[in-house]
Amino acid sequence: MQRNLAIIVFLGGMLLMHACGIYSFTGASIPPQAKSFSVDHFPNHAPMVQPTLSQVFTDGLKDKFSRQTNLRLVNGVGDLHFEGSITGYSVQPQSIGADDRAQQNRLTVSVRVRFVNEYEPDNDFEQTFARYYDYDSRKSLAEVENEAMDAIVEALVEDIFNRAVVNW
């Protein structure tokens, strides 16, 4: 009997915290009065341009907040707002073998993000995020680009999400 009561109280408390917007099961800490978010298109200003990266990244950020929060995506400026641009997309040799040839290459993507929290301006930031993907140099970038881009975008979006709304 007491155990059932304890479980009910615990679940009720978790439901109440989740409903108020104070906490979500993803670890996000969002102001309770925030109801919307917006993500401007992130243009690609990198010296080397990958044609689909802007759209893939922008959609990835929108999808993450749609799936992981109760906020509604709006056009214009939401209670939480993201804008910025892709500033880097480059491939560099990473490890050199005995024959002085690259054994691995590294694709690196950098994104400049400006985040505005309408209700908690102390959490606003402007920051560059960068992630990379190493691949065997015997493969061309074209062979690994889709897989690499997906992995990099997922990691960048996770970093941005955590910086914006996960206050650990």
- The answer to whether 121 and 71 are in contact (CB under 8 A) is no
Distance (Å, whole) CA 124 – CA 139: 41
In this predicted model, what pLDDT tens digit does every residue of 80-128 receive, in sequence order?
Answer: 999 999 999 999 988 777 666 778 999 999 999 999 999 999 999 999 9
DSSP 148-164: HHHHHHHHHHHHHHHHH
| Separation CA 99–CA 93 (nearest Å) | 14
Angle, in degrees to the nearest 10, between helices 141-165 and 53-68: 40
pLDDT exceeds 60 at position 148: yes
- Residue 1 is predicted with a pLDDT of 59
CB 71 within 8 A of CB 80: yes
List of domains in the chain: 35-165 (3.30.160.150)
What pLDDT, on the 0 to 100 scale, is given for residue 29?
Answer: 79
